[in-house]
A and B are shown apart, each in its own frame.
Chain A
Amino acid sequence: MDVLEQRLAEWRTHVGRSPAVAGVDVEELESHLRDQVEDLRRVGLDDDEAFLVAVRRLGAVDGLSAEYAREHGDRLWKQLVLAPPAEDRRSRGRLRQALLLAVGAGLAVQVPRLLGAGVERPADLGLLVLLVLPFLVVLVGTRAGAALGPRGWLVAAVPFVVGAVAVLAPPWAEGSSTEVLVVLHLPVLLWAAVGHAHAGGRWRSHEARMDVVRFTGEWVVYYALVALGGGVVVGLTVLLLQPAGEPVLEQVLLWLVPSGAAGAVVVAAWLVEAKQQVVENMAPVLTAVFTPLVALVLAASAVVYATTGLAADFDRDLLLGFDLLLLVVLGLVLYALSAQEPTRRPGVMDRVQLVAVVSALVLDALVLASLLGRLGELGPTPNRVAALGLNAVLLVDLVVAAVLAVRFLAGRAGADRPARWQTAYLPVLVVWAAVVVVVLPPVFAFR
């Protein structure tokens, strides 16, 4: 290999090491370098000299990657350029902290039971969520990229205080449906505190919110993986302890299952942070696999219900299924958006995603129409109002998402517009969850 090619190869490896400079960027810079070298050789420099001058003119690699990082922040959430690579000592300290917090969460979740309170009513479950998530907030709020200030911690505590009052204070009636609604919406409200801590309080920034979306998506993936492993462990424990008798087994499981589930909340978050590069490559694959599947399911159900109508046997279970499906679509769209380059061109996946969004839109509109009909006919109940609000919030989101996706496919909007819309809309979801947690129960007298 001649000297120039060898130097260029070394240079490529060196520049390509920065996560902010993607492969095609290196190619573009290399093309520039070759032009410069050619010109310099024409005025009499040899290969080596020409290469040195050309590289010098290009600018120091550090400065260059910092400049790329400023423009391509999305490639950078590994924070390898902005924050220097974590030394071993720091990452080991971080592991110890994560383990302590996980143990803390595992113990906290046992407190109500040890104090003699049962876990039978929905509000008890809400209490457990309230006890576990602070440990997660502490973990994400103390990571290197967040650096949450004292005010930030106070803000992060607000949803917990509000949630605790909303769950514990009311005189819940037996079989109260507002109690169930509060517990279902509480995690969304508390996750806003997690997101706030993760963003280091900079939740006004689109990029920081997108990082929270990525974090959430990966956390879900890791939690599912840990839960699978946990299921195997529980199964083995049952097999092993069966001969020791029912009471022993019950005691062990009473500790193992809730504490394991609570500790995994923290461990999954630590895994996201420590093993980012692993799942980063999984996000595009997962969305590529599941978006077409969900699009298919949605399109089929949209066609079925658009022709047969919903009204007849539209009950609460079906409604719950619909809402879950819509939330899954939203999650998939968000997760897919979080893994995309802001300057890419429309592709097949964007069309598939549009099919999913439009089908979801049709379903949502049907659900809303049916809900409004029942509301008019049978009067408002907490469930109907909560479902109506959620579906209305989702409808607005999906309409704008569909319009932006169409505009993007037509080449009239940038690829980052849908992503910006979604991150801008996130607070609306949080606000609606807060309304259900705080306002709805007293309005319906805690029925």
Chain B
Amino acid sequence: MRIDKDLVAASASPLVLAILCEGETYGYALLQRVREVSGGDMEWADGMLYPLLHRLERQRWVTADWRTPPGGRRRKYYAITPEGRAALAEQRRQWGAVVRALEGVWPSLPSAALPAPGGA
């Protein structure tokens, strides 16, 4: 299943922030984690992650640091800030509200709009 790109764009920032809550990381590893948690459903052009990270940095939700781990290559590591955690909590509340609203109307749909058994 391919997820619509507007939906991907809307969920990108909470997804990235949530992954950063697990600990600081760099762009490539972050994308691997996105693939892992979405089961490959969310298709990102890899490069788009970085402007997003830079926006989060400007909003002071994440901090960035160039570091060279022992035996590794120089990479830019991103970590979430307290403001970022607060923003994530807020976004989580909003997404919760959206999901609840959708779940409130799904049962009233005619059966044609229901997913076919076994997936599309």
Contacts and interface: CB of A to CB of B under 8 A. Distances in A.
B46 A59 contact: yes
Contacts of A342: 58
B54 A31 contact: no
B117 to A, nearest CB: 34
Interface string A310-336: 000000000000000000000000000
Contacts of A32: 27-28, 31, 46-47, 50
Interface in A21-79: 24-25, 27-29, 31-32, 34-36, 57-60, 63-64, 67-68, 70-72
Interface residues of B, number: 24
B55 A59 contact: no
Interface in B23-53: 26-29, 31, 45-48, 50-52
B48 A67 contact: yes
A63 to B, nearest CB: 7
A355 B59 CA distance: 27
B93 interface: no
Nearest to B28: A35
A160 B24 CA distance: 56
Contact of B60 (A25, A71, A414): A414
A416 interface: yes
B45 A71 contact: no
A343 B51 contact: no
A72 B50 CA distance: 11
A40 to B, nearest CB: 12
Main secondary structure of the interface of B (DSSP, over half): helix
A72 B26 CA distance: 20
Nearest to B48: A67
Given A59-B46, A343-B58, A67 B73 contact: no
Given A31-B28, A34-B73, A71 B55 contact: yes
Main secondary structure of the interface of A (DSSP, over half): helix
B47 A58 contact: yes
A64 B48 contact: yes
A270 to B, nearest CB: 33
A298 B60 CA distance: 33
Interface in B51-96: 51-52, 54-55, 57-60, 64, 66, 73-76
Nearest to A69: B51
Contacts of B31: 32
Interface in A237-272: none
Contact of A29 (B50, B57, B66): B50
B47 A67 contact: yes
Given A59-B45, A414-B60, A71 B54 contact: yes
A32 B28 CA distance: 5
Question: For A28, A36, A342, which residue has the most chain B Cβ atoms within 10 angstroms?
Answer: A28
B92 to A, nearest CB: 23
Contact of A28 (B27, B45, B55, B60): B27
7 contacts: A25-B54, A28-B50, A35-B28, A57-B46, A58-B47, A68-B51, A72-B51
Interface of A: 24-25, 27-29, 31-32, 34-36, 57-60, 63-64, 67-68, 70-72, 342-343, 414, 416
Interface of B: 26-29, 31, 45-48, 50-52, 54-55, 57-60, 64, 66, 73-76
Given A32-B27, A35-B29, A72-B51, 10 more contacts: A25-B50, A28-B76, A32-B46, A36-B28, A59-B46, A67-B47, A68-B50, A71-B51, A72-B54, A343-B58
